[in-house]
Structure 1
């Protein structure tokens, strides 16, 4: 008989907040959820801003059967820690318990955006199931031999999920995918660089071309389709994003809620033949995105046109967030298989793209078009300066996320040197505008520990366009530092306001700063100190440089940039070959069907995703991928050397924790009927299946996987780890593949 949990302090007056918190922890660990919630609630009445205990309070309420109360706690914690991915994960759990799956998916997606390494959010969002324990592989024998099945006609790729009855489809010939922008505004109002680019270009495209010619959409992972975002709604979102920073403003909350409803339940986009989908932001965090791109390309001849802002995670990975490098590498590899055209913001980014793309597909030429982001910001009435700057204190402006890549540490050290050399009164203040980003701790720690920097350096964030205009107008000049940039929008904005920009001479900054910036030697504190001092102390020198800016810089309007984007897409040639038609890996190559972790883009990353066809697949995991009942096929393009020769096809499988009966079919798509066999696997087994295919003239290799083919067979899934096809006489490839499967991996 279970004994009730005893609490020796229940009838005693708590000594204070610490005692209440400890009591809550003790009761929580004992599973006394209601009593623990009561203790945490008493603690929070004394310490309202403890986000960690708010989360624990929510956990206890949830376990006690009150998910609605838990949701309230998590929401309160979210206001205290808006950048905490774990809180978003807990929000998703509570929303899922309350039967609100669309909102739960939004929360899980936000958790992944904030913390790309959040495995819990990834598993929830993508519906992952942990694999069974790996076992030693064995060569599988047929359980029941069957005659070859009649060859079915080639299967068309499954269409996107149909629109709900209440939301008729909307035809689209050209659409802007604003998925990540709409995700960003759920928790932010003031846009940063990429969001600012998307807002301005899409706004001007809508106003210039009209809703009949241009559509805005968002990808809905639950439906596997793009949903239309009404043009008036997007235009209002763009307008409000520039007028304030208050995310609790009722007008802002209403437009964000309406955009969220459109993105998750609006009309499904039906692409017209030859339509173009332009993605100005990111998509690597969206589950199933490229699979739906492939289907739309096959069904509608869709042209997929991403905008590549930079290749920073591949060029300076040490300055990127954990998890981002691998995510970006897989996305870039997928881009090379799927893009029909790439838009880039500078010749520097274009050169980086061509070099990296040709390393993957040396014989493929993906057209790229340079769309410089040399636009003046929208004219707005400047607002007031921050209080500390209203007394006429001279200052230098640095606009950019406070993160490792922007190297604020070098700038702060330079300011220390300036003050110690010239005195605080002769050195201007430094105003840094931007959110805190990745690996900013060293710079922030230096600023917090130095009395000089606390007095001279002001850290601001969530500044509206009106406030930013006032800062540009009031500064002596601007400074923009970075280890690498694709363009550098704050440099353009500085020049557009007539202010000199001081920037390091490298990467895309050479192009954004060409019309009038002053360059310093990258990562050189002495050169930076010298240039800052001369620009600060020599008013005549600064005025001469400002005259040069006025004479040389001719910014474009965002309407002109939007028009160039539409023109470049309209004038591009026909779609490139289908994704799998762009490559034919040599025979004898093992192909892992898994989420590959490498930090450099590899074709194997893109192939692991692109080989999978049908709706029966789960998402890729580190170990492999589950195939479920339904359409689960692997398609492998074969090189010319495969024609007219017998093949051996090996498939490495993983059984779940239950026994499973499954059927496999393998053959070349345009050849003889496929070979079909049934197999049985014991719980947790790893096994290798062999198919001997006769000589055929042409056609891709297609392997169909159907788990639980008989009633009561047990599990209804089978894991797939790898695939290999080789010539029948290639004994080295056959033996090598089997040896790799037989030798246990210490980190499988």
Structure 2
């Protein structure tokens, strides 16, 4: 037996008998018998590492966790390079609630055996609970050949694989090829072409990284999140794909481009593997089939990369640009602040619109609340802004002014989205698309849009009904509505369902591939976009790219998107909408003139030009040769004002509205809930920038106890314990803390909050909520210690349960 290498003076027969008896007890789940016999074997020969592991298992199953840990430790001391022993130690430490130590054991197991998938999965599960580990060590281990969760195949490797398949195919090409063979050959050749192209982009990008003076990091969090539930990109997703990939394929001199994603589970930015990102973008534009195995495998690979990949380390003074959105990431700005403090990064969001604030009636309540939360953060953290139209810039400045933020026009750059949507993709015949959807060329009007109230489908349907009754259904073109279902669309579908005339004349389509959508544009009579509010209006640009007249409302940015090439009606004027539709349907000379003008004068620009404009704008804002580290964000509380550390519950902005989240500091916080914020087990911190006055201050901080057991909560000021009190399960406790003048002499007040115990919500929620938390923090109020009026107001509001009004007081 391999286990019996050094039996010493003991009889091999006795050791073997003891081990067999132990194994029999183990197999029967008779842990007492297993423990007894493994102990007997180890007494005869204490050098058997494998039996120490089995002994540890028996002790663990018998409930003797500390003794089991000692047994595993003995096995590791004898054979430190055995990965499975470290895995078992990790399992035990997790059972004991020692999550950080468990992560260290799992990490060591992966380093010793990268094929040990169980250890990788355990690290992923711990990440969701907020446990951290050395991402560099894990990434190095996972890059070894044969790793359990191997890194994505490089594009060069993919190209080589496809070339081998192509060569093998050609060896047997003497006989006439069947249709299936031809399709296979075409697929391999297309894949080879794409792989070589993407591999070239990877090499070009690496060279640009080495030579660049400016480092631009594109955050694609919402794009990758979108891919979890959808495939074909809509407007904002397409902007991200096109601009970023264009810059990766053809970099701007002096500017390096990186791609990252904010991992909500791990609460950090993670580098997105470039080959996999490019592959996802390529696949997303090819088809809407989410069940395609190639697509699902690519999505899963990316998710794994985000779960276990390297934490992003920004270059000093880098530019973090989010071409999408981060509304749904409640801890996003906490990490922007940390990145500013550590790396001096500049945060430059692309603001596509201010729809939830400007037209909240077209948004669901939760979206409006999330957007307002994001808006409060974006005005506090952005160094500059990008936006897509003059209309969006005006709205951005207007909302900022309402909140009390001055946004200068020169700090907002308009990057118009007048790009060329025609792609050199593998085309399919127009006739095939027409047959698939049962359409005839020039016998339908195309309306491309998500189905939601803002897009104004109801007005379009009313106009169609009017036209059908005037001219007869046979003479009115069909209305083809292409787009997924959004929100607040019940009336749209109810109107369609209740009217047989409309059902025969209106077609609702979703999941249309890029080739089919291109053909739908090419073959339509004209396009319609009656939206009540837009940031830009990408379908307008698409229509013009395909040479088709577009009928638009005159709202918001649409006159900028359509320019002199579109036909307009006044928003809200149903008669004018119907009249303009009638004109475009039946006045063929007018429609032909519109198309002639578009063909002669409309000149969309390449997507790369948008990226170049962004890069050149950054160079203008931050001239080369100068150091441009962004200053940290300063959070200054108003004395006597209550700051509630909850997520935003408001559905409208008001003057002086401020974010309370901004006072949170460091990585010890979970995202805000509707009552406040849970800290992580190591505790959370508040950082308050205050003007030194030489006076003592009074701080009131609200804490929430753990849900199932008593704990002791501690408040520390400047590293020293200021107050420590017991908290019962679920107890709300407001702690008054006096702060000496010297503690604020630096102008920064550091407050640490923690509890001596932690809670694992996974145990109480059947794994629905996986967080492990420390004490909860409801909010705080700071005032001069001798300001009895402020103290009385706070205590009165607390008694009357009216802290919300005190939070709005200025």
Give, in angstroms, the shift of residue 596 of structure 1.
2.8
What corresponds to 1:349 in structure 2? 392
Give, in angstroms, the shift of residue 259 of structure 1.
2.5
Deviation readout 1:683-719 (Å, 9 max, x if unpaired)? 4443332223333444122222232289xxxx98433
Where 2:564 maps in the other structure, the secondary structure is: coil
Where 1:174 maps in the other structure, the secondary structure is: strand
Deviation readout 1:372-395 (Å, 9 max, x if unpaired)? 000111334354333354444611
Give, in angstroms, the shift of residue 331 of structure 1.
0.9
Find the partner of 2:749 among 683, 687, 701.
701
Contact 2:687/2:751, CA 8 A, preserved across alignment? yes
What corresponds to 1:174 in structure 2? 216
Contact 1:646/1:727, CA 8 A, preserved across alignment? yes
What corresponds to 2:732 in structure 1? 686
Matched, 1:660 2:711: yes
Deviation readout 1:418-459 (Å, 9 max, x if unpaired)? 010111222111111111111222111222222211211111
Query: What are the residue-to-residue correspondences of 1:308-347 with 2, within 5 Å?
Result: 308-347=351-390
- Distance change in 2, residues 1:180/1:224 (3 Å): same
Contact 1:189/1:245, CA 8 A, preserved across alignment? yes
What corresponds to 1:597 in structure 2? 649
- Distance change in 2, residues 1:489/1:716 (3 Å): closer
- Distance change in 2, residues 1:357/1:434 (3 Å): same
- Distance change in 2, residues 1:382/1:628 (3 Å): closer
Matched, 1:442 2:487: no
Give, in angstroms, the shift of residue 745 of structure 1.
6.1
Where 2:317 maps in the other structure, the secondary structure is: strand
Write the distance in 2 (CA, Å) between the matches of 1:530 and 1:737. Answer: 61
Contact 1:161/1:223, CA 8 A, preserved across alignment? no
What corresponds to 1:6 in structure 2? none
Matched, 1:191 2:233: yes
Write the distance in 2 (CA, Å) between the matches of 1:103 and 1:674. Answer: 35
Could you list the runs of 5+ residues in structure 1 that have no partner in the other structure? 1-96, 107-124, 128-157, 668-672
Matched, 1:646 2:646: no
Contact 2:456/2:531, CA 8 A, preserved across alignment? yes
Write the distance in 2 (CA, Å) between the matches of 1:228 and 1:412. Answer: 46
Contact 1:225/1:268, CA 8 A, preserved across alignment? yes
Contact 1:418/1:533, CA 8 A, preserved across alignment? yes
Contact 1:330/1:606, CA 8 A, preserved across alignment? no
Matched, 1:231 2:274: yes
Deviation readout 1:224-264 (Å, 9 max, x if unpaired)? 33222233332332222222222222332333233223232
- Distance change in 2, residues 1:662/1:233 (3 Å): closer
RMSD, aligned CA: 3.3
Find the partner of 1:587 among 639, 652, 655.
639
Query: What are the residue-to-residue correspondences of 1:36-55 with 2, within 5 Å?
Result: none
What corresponds to 1:722 in structure 2? 779
What corresponds to 2:83 in structure 1? none
What corresponds to 1:16 in structure 2? none
Q: Which has the larger radius of gyration?
A: 2
Find the partner of 2:471 among 402, 406, 422.
422
- Distance change in 2, residues 1:192/1:682 (3 Å): closer
Contact 2:341/2:632, CA 8 A, preserved across alignment? yes
Contact 2:670/2:680, CA 8 A, preserved across alignment? yes
Matched, 1:307 2:350: yes
What corresponds to 1:464 in structure 2? 513
Give, in angstroms, the shift of residue 588 of structure 1.
1.2
Deviation readout 1:131-188 (Å, 9 max, x if unpaired)? xxxxxxxxxxxxxxxxxxxxxxxxxxx9996434334999893221111111212332
What corresponds to 2:112 in structure 1? none
Give, in angstroms, the shift of residue 728 of structure 1.
2.6
- Distance change in 2, residues 1:423/1:523 (3 Å): same
Contact 2:678/2:773, CA 8 A, preserved across alignment? no
Contact 2:124/2:308, CA 8 A, preserved across alignment? no
Give, in angstroms, the shift of residue 682 of structure 1.
4.1
Write the distance in 1 (CA, Å) between the matches of 2:685 and 2:650. Answer: 25
TM-score (norm. length: structure 2): 0.68
Write the distance in 2 (CA, Å) between the matches of 1:551 and 1:102. Answer: 59
Contact 1:643/1:698, CA 8 A, preserved across alignment? no
Give, in angstroms, the shift of residue 578 of structure 1.
2.3
Contact 1:221/1:287, CA 8 A, preserved across alignment? no
Write the distance in 1 (CA, Å) between the matches of 2:705 and 2:654. Answer: 28
Could you list the runs of 5+ residues in structure 2 that have no partner in the other structure? 1-117, 144-205, 623-627, 759-771, 806-810
Write the distance in 2 (CA, Å) between the matches of 1:562 and 1:329. Answer: 28
Query: What are the residue-to-residue correspondences of 1:328-407 with 2, within 5 Å?
Result: 328-363=371-406, 365=408, 367-380=411-424, 381=427, 383=429, 384-387=432-435, 389-392=438-441, 394-407=443-456
Give, in angstroms, the shift of residue 622 of structure 1.
1.5
Give, in angstroms, the shift of residue 301 of structure 1.
0.6
Write the distance in 2 (CA, Å) between the matches of 1:262 and 1:428. Answer: 49
Contact 2:344/2:632, CA 8 A, preserved across alignment? no
Contact 2:402/2:654, CA 8 A, preserved across alignment? no
Deviation readout 1:601-641 (Å, 9 max, x if unpaired)? 57998642221223433332212223354242111222x4x
Where 1:369 maps in the other structure, the secondary structure is: strand
Contact 1:271/1:302, CA 8 A, preserved across alignment? yes
Find the partner of 1:528 among 574, 577, 587.
577
Write the distance in 2 (CA, Å) between the matches of 1:411 and 1:351. Answer: 28
Write the distance in 2 (CA, Å) between the matches of 1:653 and 1:234. Answer: 42
Write the distance in 2 (CA, Å) between the matches of 1:625 and 1:427. Answer: 57
- Distance change in 2, residues 1:261/1:159 (3 Å): closer
Contact 1:648/1:725, CA 8 A, preserved across alignment? yes
Where 1:285 maps in the other structure, the secondary structure is: coil
Deviates more, 1:496-505 or 1:384-393: 384-393
Deviates more, 1:260-269 or 1:358-367: 358-367
- Distance change in 2, residues 1:634/1:161 (3 Å): farther
- Distance change in 2, residues 1:251/1:662 (3 Å): closer
- Distance change in 2, residues 1:225/1:718 (3 Å): closer
Write the distance in 1 (CA, Å) between the matches of 2:126 and 2:754. Answer: 28
Write the distance in 2 (CA, Å) between the matches of 1:517 and 1:341. Answer: 32
Give, in angstroms, the shift of residue 660 of structure 1.
2.7
- Distance change in 2, residues 1:660/1:242 (3 Å): closer
Where 2:638 maps in the other structure, the secondary structure is: coil
Give, in angstroms, the shift of residue 100 of structure 1.
5.6
Deviation readout 1:82-132 (Å, 9 max, x if unpaired)? xxxxxxxxxxxxxxx9996898899xxxxxxxxxxxxxxxxxx788xxxxx
Instruction: Count residues with an aligned counterpart.
Output: 591
Deviates more, 1:375-384 or 1:499-508: 375-384
Matched, 1:412 2:456: no
- Distance change in 2, residues 1:684/1:228 (3 Å): closer
Where 1:291 maps in the other structure, the secondary structure is: helix
What corresponds to 2:103 in structure 1? none
Give, in angstroms, the shift of residue 518 of structure 1.
0.6
What corresponds to 1:630 in structure 2? 682
Give, in angstroms, the shift of residue 336 of structure 1.
1.2
Where 1:267 maps in the other structure, the secondary structure is: coil
What corresponds to 1:275 in structure 2? 318
Query: What are the residue-to-residue correspondences of 1:58-97 with 2, within 5 Å?
Result: none
Contact 2:231/2:287, CA 8 A, preserved across alignment? yes
Where 2:302 maps in the other structure, the secondary structure is: helix
- Distance change in 2, residues 1:718/1:218 (3 Å): closer
Write the distance in 1 (CA, Å) between the matches of 2:441 and 2:476. Answer: 14
Contact 2:422/2:545, CA 8 A, preserved across alignment? no
Contact 1:308/1:342, CA 8 A, preserved across alignment? yes
What corresponds to 1:298 in structure 2? 341
